[in-house]
Amino acid sequence: MATSIQPDLLAATEKDLASHMVLEHTLFFMLGGISVQVAETVLRIIVSSANNKERRKQSHTTDKESKNDMRLKVISVWSRLLRKIFSVNNRYGFIWLIIPIILLTFWHLPFVFDYAALNDGVHILQHISFIIVGVTSFLAFRALGESFKIIILISLNGIMAFAGLMFAVTTTPIYPIYSVSSHNDAGTYMLITCLLLLLVVLPTYLIHRAILHLRIRTTSSDKTV
């Protein structure tokens, strides 16, 4: 969260619309995904430590041990809550998809976008929301199946390509706080990003998944033999 309020970072990523649309979004989305992985790692360490202390607990209970028991209960409740949040199954995984769609749509409405850019407090809230988008998108990718991941990658690429083309050819600012040339540059960068996703990221992901499935099948065949 601290990253979202660094003035030097804000100035660097928002000097033009291209940086805002490509660099800033990518940065905060990645922070969201990384935060989930860090939280889960910390949770595993805390739960493991708490379980070890519980095993070493003596039969008699002192005041200090009573406080430790209370701490263990708090850790247990917190861990169960995080597990429920982070392990939403395929049946309810669409919830994680709806949240980022709503947040991204809201913050990119022209009047909301301009207002956030001109007001520091709202702008920080926008950045925090982008981190939440990264968190929920990461959880959506994990909760839903492989077919969903491929579909969502293609869909996102299509949406970005459409928006990039619109920015690249516009002669009227969509976001008045940025110039027309800034819109055109943003559109060009977005189209380049789309090409990279389509020609590099998506094929790499498909090849990786195909190799993984082949290894699983080979391992299963060896076990049956």
Q: What mean pLDDT do residues 9-15 have?
A: 57
CA distance 153 to 189: 18
Per-residue pLDDT tens for 159-172? 889 999 999 999 99
pLDDT digits (tens, 9 = 90+) for 203-213: 888 888 788 87
Residue located via tokens 């033999």: 225
pLDDT at residue 225 above 60?
no
**Can you give the pTM of this predicted structure?**
0.74
Average pLDDT over residues 7-12: 53
Q: How far apart are CA 159 and CA 24, in angstroms?
A: 18
Compute the distance between CA of residue 156 and CA of residue 144 in angstroms, rounded to an integer.
Answer: 16
- Is 93 or 22 the better-scoring residue by pLDDT? 22
Q: pLDDT category, 4, cuts 50, 70, 90?
A: very low
Predicted pLDDT of residue 207: 87
Greater model confidence, 221 or 113: 113
Higher pLDDT, 190 or 84: 190
What's the mean per-residue pLDDT of the chain? 78
CB within 8 A of 146, min separation 6: which ones? 209
Q: What percent of the chain has pLDDT over 70?
A: 71
pLDDT tens digit sequence for 161-201: 999 999 999 999 999 989 899 999 999 999 998 998 888 88
Chain segment 115-125, per-residue pLDDT in tens: 988 888 888 89
pLDDT higher than 70, residue 13: no
28-37, 65-74, 98-107, 139-148: which range is least confident on average?
65-74
Q: State yes or no: pLDDT of 64 exceeds 60.
A: no
Domain boundaries, the chain: 30-140, 145-225
CA-CA distances (angstroms) from residue 15 to 7, 20, 58, 59, 140?
Answer: 12, 8, 61, 64, 32
